[in-house]
Amino acid sequence: MTQQHPDNRPVHQAACHCGAVRFTLKLSDGVRGARRCNCSYCRMRGAVAVSANLGDLKVQQGQDALSLYQFKTGVAKHYFCSKCGIYTFHQRRSLPNEYGVNVACIEGMSPFDFKEIPVSEGRVHPMDHPDRASVVAGWLRYETNPDADFHHA
Q: Where are the domains of the chain?
A: 12-140
* Residue 1: per-residue pLDDT: 56
45: left (phi over 0), alpha (psi -120 to 50) or beta: alpha
Q: Starting at the edge strand that comes first in sequence, how are the strands of the sheet with 22-25 ordered?
A: 12-15, 22-25, 57-61
Query: Which of the listed CATH numbers 1.20.1240.10, 3.20.20.70, 3.40.190.290, 2.170.150.70 matches domain 12-140?
Result: 2.170.150.70
Query: How high is the pLDDT of residue 129?
Result: 63
Q: What is the pLDDT along the chain (153 residues), one digit of tens a residue?
A: 567 788 899 999 999 999 999 999 999 999 999 999 998 888 999 999 999 999 999 999 999 999 999 988 888 899 999 999 999 999 988 888 999 999 999 999 999 999 999 998 877 766 666 676 678 889 999 998 888 876 655
Listed residue (43, 29, 31, 21) closest to 103, CA to CA: 31
Hey, is 146 helix, strand or coil? helix
